[in-house]
Amino acid sequence: MSAAEQTLAAADAVPLSLRGPAPKRVVAGYGFWLFLLSDIVIFAALFAAYAVLSGETAGGPTAAALFDKKHVLIETACLLASSVTCGFGSLAVQSGERTSTYFWMAITFILGVTFLSLEVSEFSHMLSIGAGPSRSAFLSAFFTLVGTHGLHVTIGLCWLIVMILQVATLGFQPMVSRRFFCFGLFWHALDIVWIGVFTIVYLGAHL
Amino acid sequence: MSTEFEAQGVAPGVNVRTHGTRTSYLIGLSYAVILTLASFWASSTDVIYPPGVPILLGVLAIAQMGIHLVFFLHISSAPDQTNNILALAFGIFVVGLLVFGSMIIMANLNHNMMPMDRLMQMQR
């Protein structure tokens, strides 16, 4: 039994009411979790709009005619794989391994960029065949919902660059590891939203 | 166990084991891959009774969200996670109200609306 594990065993014996204020890591995680939940409520509103408007095509292209399942499967694979590499990255941050941290962060970044470029190519194809957001209520709702998710992924990628720079300049300080923990939560939450997107928007289109 | 935590010491009540391991991420990944492929398969197969497919897709999606919460976001029943669980429960409640409330209200309004051709006649 290592020293830390002994501390843990002792910590389990202390009743919750006698443990004092929660450590910063737990508090920061809780605050960020609240933000993520409010973000998910925004997505819920967009999902509700899409669910109500998905049939209102105004004579334009329908969902079944526009969406390609293979394309979506590749996008899903990218996002899922990047979620796992992000998890490996946060394990590397915890154990303070610089090389593997950079490696997993870079893989996460590349997978995120691949996802975004696939989405941008899909959007530009739709715009080129005249299925832009102004064509029908269905397409407005689609571009708002999927575009908001894409915007979040873009912000996540910017954050990831900042985290790489912080590891490079500040090293593995507790605050850097806390920030990376929050980034991981953000990235995994985007993946959860994407499950809703591919189920309701893309798979629901072909039913 | 990371060296960083041992060097800095652990405050009472801190559980440093909430972060999962490489194995737990890989277990989560394999569940997620199976569920994703299952939902893509379910949406394009003729084996399943067609009106049941949306329900199956919903079940698979919710199951995968649960997998992500447990294996990637590390939501658990640990004592330091009680607040996270409560917030999650409230979040799910609000999401349910928003999505199903909007759908029910809009379907009801749609149902009660006068057909468009009658509306046009009245405006003349």
Question: Which of A3, A23, A47 is facing B14, going by the closest CB pair?
Answer: A23
The pLDDT tens digits for A148-170 are 999 999 999 999 999 999 999 99
- Going residue by residue through chain B, which has 124 residues, state the pLDDT in tens, using 9 for 90 and above: 444 444 445 554 455 555 678 899 999 999 999 999 999 999 988 898 988 999 999 999 999 999 999 999 988 888 778 889 999 999 999 999 999 999 999 999 988 887 877 878 887 7
- Cβ-Cβ pairs closer than 8 A, A with B, add up to 154
Nearest CA in chain B to A73: B40
Handedness of CA B101, B107, B110, B111 (dihedral sign): negative
Distance (Å) of CA B1 to CA B12, B23, B58, B73: 17, 14, 38, 19
Span A84-101, average pLDDT: 92
d(CA B51, CA A45): 26
Dihedral angle over CA of A149, A45, B88, A161, nearest 10: 20
Judged by CB atoms closer than 8 Å, whether chains meet at B65 and A206 is answered as no
Nearest CA in chain A to B87: A34
Chain A residues close to B7, C-beta within 8 Å = none
What's the pTM value of the predicted model, to 2 decimals? 0.86
Chain B residues close to A14, C-beta within 8 Å = 12-13
pLDDT at A191 over 80: yes
First CA to last CA distance, chain B: 78
User: What ipTM, to 2 d.p.?
Assistant: 0.85
Span A69-90, average pLDDT: 94
Span A17-34, average pLDDT: 86
